[in-house]
Amino acid sequence: MKRSLPALSVAVLAAIAASAHAEPTDLGAGFSLSGNAAIVSDYRFRGYSQTNFRPAVQVGFDLAHSSGFYLGNWNSNVSDFVFPEGNLEMDFYGGWKGELGHGLGLDVGALYYYYPGSSSPKGGNYNNTDLYVGLSYGRYSLKYSYTPSDFFSTPDSKGTWYLDGTANFDLGDGWGLVAHVGYQKLKQQVDMDGDSIGHYVDYKLGVTKDLNGWVLGLAAVGASADNWLPTKNGHPSGRLGAVFSVARAF
């Protein structure tokens, strides 16, 4: 739910991109195929647990062309307490990424979140579409995501948006440091106490270690308004917590 492309935690995704040894499979005609897989102790998206503080298995695939266009799919288990009658998230995305010159990168595209079988008490399901544009320069990246329709089934929430920045640092000897902060602007949202919530900040600080292509990660993750999404035990789903991960590209 409510995640940025393409859906591993920011720390794990950045570590795979920076450290993984696996090369994409050349399919010919300018096309290549790559994949990634991870096990995480808690699937967090924009600071909030999507698995009720429980582990998740995550697998993704990316088809890219030398022109810069790409398509991808990413999948993870989620909690049916957070997504009633749904326990799977499937993301489908496509776009274009390339260099603008002087080391500046551009990434534009669309991301569709699909939750098979989910049923929202507000009507319909939790499926959602985001449009995004991202810029990158060296170790730094900045991305803006916009929801052109109701945000994850919430009525009258069109125009919800999210801005996030990430920095990746190579510490040498396979070690990496990832820092992330995001700002979520919400419309028509309330927390678990029924109070209106118009925005919040999420944050993450993590370290990674590349062991022959296996990327181990440990990150501190949380959100400023931590009581937005439900959990079975009543603990705030955006509370500060540690997330462990093991990931690999293939």
Q: What are residue 204's phi and psi, to 5 degrees? A: -155, 140
Burial of 103 (0-12, 13-18, 19+ CB in 10 A): exposed
Q: Span 68-80, mean pLDDT?
A: 97
Nearest 10 degrees: Cα torsion 21, 24, 26, 31: -150
Q: Is the overall model pTM greater than 0.85, yes or no? A: yes
Give the span between the Cα atoms of 191 and 47, in whole angstroms: 14
Residue 177, amino acid: L
> pLDDT digit string (tens) for 18-47?
555 678 999 999 999 999 999 999 999 999
Question: What does the pLDDT read at residue 17?
Answer: 54
162: confidence class by pLDDT, cuts 50, 70, 90: very high
Q: What is the 3-state secondary structure (H, E, C) of 139-200?
A: CEEEEEEECCCCHHHCCCCCCCEEEEEEEEEEEECCEEEEEEEEEEECCCCECCCCCECCEE
7: confidence class by pLDDT, cuts 50, 70, 90: very low
pLDDT of residue 77 exceeding 60: yes
Question: What does the pLDDT read at residue 12?
Answer: 54
Please name the residues in contact with 23: beta carbons below 8 A apart, sequence gap of 6 or more: none
Q: Span 63-88, mean pLDDT?
A: 95
Name the CA radius of gyration of the chain, rounded: 17
Q: Span 161-185, mean pLDDT?
A: 98
Q: Two tokens at 238?
A: 């955006």
CATH numbers and ranges of domains, the chain: 10-249 (2.40.160.40)
**Helices and strands (H and E) in the chain: how many:** 1, 15
pLDDT of residue 5 exceeding 60: no
What's the mean per-residue pLDDT of the chain?
89
pLDDT of residue 231 exceeding 80: no
Question: What does the pLDDT read at residue 157?
Answer: 85
Q: What are residue 70's phi and psi, to 5 degrees? A: -150, 155
Question: What does the pLDDT read at residue 121?
Answer: 75
Q: How far from the centroid of its chain's Cα atoms is residue 58's Cα?
A: 11
Distances (CA, A) of 111 to 86, 88, 192, 204: 19, 16, 27, 22
Please, which residues bridge with residue 7 across strands? none
CB 219 within 8 A of CB 206: yes
- CA atoms within a 13 Å half-sphere pointing along the CA-CB vector of 150: 14
Q: Span 53-60, mean pLDDT?
A: 97
> pLDDT digit string (tens) for 175-227?
999 999 999 998 877 665 666 788 999 999 999 999 999 999 999 999 998 77
